[in-house]
Every structure is written in C-alpha cells, then in structure tokens.
Structure 1
C-alpha cells in the first residue's frame, strides 16, 4: 500500500503503473512516513528551528510524532516517538513538547482527523502575523478551496491546556487555519491529504505576498476556485510520492 499511500481502490486501479514499471516508493513503515513528511514539509518552509509537531494517529489509537529535541530536517524513522491517546510517550528515546496538547485535543475532538500539523511556517506565518487571509491568485493556490479561517484570539503559547483547547475548538470542522501572530495549523484524514493542504496553503500565501509586493492583482472568484481546485479527499495523485523520493535521493537513511 505504501506506493499508493492513501489512494482509494478505484484511483489505484486507474493509475496503476504498467507491467514492468518500478514501484513509486519502497515499502515504508508508518514511522518512516512521518519522518519523510517532516523532511518534505521542512523544505516547504515549515522549518522554524525545532518548533512544530506532526501527529499521525494509527488505527490502534496510538499516535506517532516527531520529538522535541530534533529539527524536522534531521529526523529518521527511528527517531519517531509513539504516544498513547493521552499524549504519554510509550515508545521512543526522545521527548515531546508540552505544546503537543493542541494535537491531542484535536484528535479527540475530530474523529475524522488522523493527522495534525502545526508550525510557525514561512509564508503562511507572514499572513498570520498580518492577521489577514491571503487571496487565491492561481490554480495551485486553489487546490484545497477558498475557506481559510483566521484564529485571532492568541493568548500565549500552546503549553497552556486552556489556550490549546480554545484553539482546537475554534477550528471547528475546518481543514486548516492561520493562527494570528503565531503560525499555521493543518489537519487531515491521512498524510497524503494533509500534505496537499500544507503545500497548497504555503503556495497560496507565497503567491499572494509576491503579488501584493508587485502592486496587486485580481484574485480568482470563489466559484472559479471551487471549479479548478483538486478534490482533496485523496490528495494530489503521486505528489506525495514524488516529494518523498526527492528526500530519499538526498538522504536514503531517512527510512532507517
């Protein structure tokens, strides 16, 4: 399944490689997928030193996450920590930041959400700090639709349980959010879907910032965004694998 991670059966059959073609990816452990996701998103600008967490809830209820002590661009599969549903470390050699509470609360509030990603990202962070929602200017920025809530009741870091719970509740059923004067938050049913949402958010924010610096432009109408966007139930076919291969070419030890 790893070579078509997250694709439904119909799409797998439609887009299966022809006989004799190589697999898109080697077989990957769940820990390797999380490590690859960290590397991939680091490259997208989700790279604020050692800040940020990716949590990935498994079918048994346990949660995989990156450790506090390591930056996203140095992680390997063996570094990934396993938590129980309350956020206690049950396997791994590292620690997790107390800010993991935001993720644990979101997993509890949203049964549909198996992946939660938070960081103080580059381009989305600019718009969060401006407390503005970036317009959509192109097809890539439209991949995941128009709605992008701005949570503007920042009252401190997410080590505080009440603060993180209010942010989790404010997200409602949204797929992502800008956290004013803080960063960005993305959720998804699986890694593929969450990956598309992160890269779409960063692209949308980057292009909007560049257009604004150039003197402005004409955003796409909401109806056009909905028409040309990708239905992201299964993410962007083959994009996750392509970005994973890029990281594996640079450092094959990620999956060890």
Structure 2
C-alpha cells in the first residue's frame, strides 16, 4: 500500500498575543480605517477578573504599543500602567454594567461615521462589505454635552439597549462587541458603510441592498466571524511596526 504524504502543519496566523497587544493592534488598525480624530476616542476590553484594559488618554491610536495600555478597576481607577485614562471612562463602565455580554466598547469620531452622525441620518447599505454586520444602526438624535458627563454617559448606555452600534448625533460613533475580533469587524464595517454611502449619494444616489438580504448576510458574517480578516490586518500592522507588540 502506498504511504500517503503527511499533511503539512499550518503555521500560526499570528504570534501569541497578550490582551494588551491585541488592544494596541485594534487601535492601530482602526486608526487606519478612519478612526483618527487626533487623540480623541477610547476602547475598553473587559478581562476575566472584571478589570478593563483601556487605551491611554495622552496617545494617538496610531502610536501606542502594548506597554502603553492602561488597566482600570470597576470604578475606573488606574491600577496598572504609566498613563492616564480618558475622563469618558464612565461611558464604558455604564455599558459594561448594563451589558454583561459586551467585552469590548469603542467610541471615536470616525471620519465618515461622524459625517452621517452630524447629518443625523443612518447610511443605507449599498454593497456587500457594508452588509457584513446586521442589526439596526441606532441614531441618538440629540447632543447635550460630551460623553464624559455622567448624565450623558448613562443616557448613551441605556439608549444603546441591546444594539451593536450607534451614531451619536453631532458627535461620533459607538460600537460594542463580544471580543476584539468582533469589535474590529463591526467598527471597520461601520466606517466602510458610511464612506461608501457618502460616495454613492454624492453621485446622486443608488439602490440599497434589501433589508432581508443584509440581515441574512450580516447574521452569517458577524455571527461566525470573518475568517482570517483580523489576523491578516494584524500581521500587516506588525510588519509595518513590530514595536506595537512591545
């Protein structure tokens, strides 16, 4: 009997990453997608012990590395790290308290997401990539003050309900997810959707994908994850700047 050749062992798609390195990579990748309003914006990643890893207030998302990530307790007090935490940490604390299913929260003033938030309109879904995530894109249609105000943070948290994402009128975007990989997919899909819709409408408009098709396709992709997408984009950033892991 002819002996079969052994199946070659696949190489790991990514090196083993610490939670801090994952968060630093997420910040870098989303900056490249348009989440680049100077030093604005914050991401939290809930850990098994209940603490949160958060990007530092002082650094832009494209420059930080794993060692810059800050850890805070359930009251928002820094317990690990050399930087300060955003004054808007209350938004994260409120959402994490109300939504035990949420592992990652993203808030920023993304380039095209903020255009639609300022217009107080929800962008249609015009293409397949924009349909990678299903579910209603909420619009909070009033802006009273920054989300670091206790009343506004609580209002956003309660207004989000069980939704995955929202546009904050005259402000920016809010995305929640189970983990880093899902957060990456949802945040990049939101900005892609907003960008593509802006371009289509600049041409005079187009025919949006039917809601039931978006729901079916988005449920499949968002529910199962986009295979290899997070890994490919993370490898790209590591090649560009290996210091992100330090």
Q: TM-score range by the shorter chain?
A: over 0.9
Do the aligned partners of 2:51 and 2:73 also contact (CA within 8 Å) in 1?
yes
The structure 2 residue matched to 1:233, chosen from 191, 199, 223, is: 223
Residue 126 of structure 1 corresponds to 115
Q: How many residues align?
A: 239
Q: Provide the alpha-carbon RMSD of the alignment.
A: 1.1
Q: Where does the alignment leave 5 or more consecutive residues of structure 1 unmatched?
A: 1-17
- Alpha-carbon distance in structure 2 between the residues aligned to 1:88 and 1:70: 18
- Alpha-carbon distance in structure 2 between the residues aligned to 1:122 and 1:241: 24
- Alpha-carbon distance in structure 2 between the residues aligned to 1:153 and 1:110: 23
Question: C-alpha displacement at 1:234, in angstroms?
Answer: 4.1
Question: C-alpha displacement at 1:104, in angstroms?
Answer: 1.1
State the TM-score, normalizing by the size of structure 1.
0.91
Question: C-alpha displacement at 1:152, in angstroms?
Answer: 1.2
SS state at 1:150 partner: strand
Q: Does 1:209 align with 2:198?
A: yes
Deviations 1:79-106 (A, max 9, x none): 0000111111000000012111101111
Instruction: Tell which structure's C-alpha radius of gyration is larger.
Output: 2
Question: C-alpha displacement at 1:146, in angstroms?
Answer: 4.6
Residue 251 of structure 1 corresponds to 241
Q: Where does the alignment leave 5 or more consecutive residues of structure 2 unmatched?
A: 1-6
- Alpha-carbon distance in structure 2 between the residues aligned to 1:177 and 1:189: 16
- Alpha-carbon distance in structure 2 between the residues aligned to 1:192 and 1:228: 18
Residue 116 of structure 1 corresponds to 105
- Alpha-carbon distance in structure 1 between the residues aligned to 2:198 and 2:192: 10
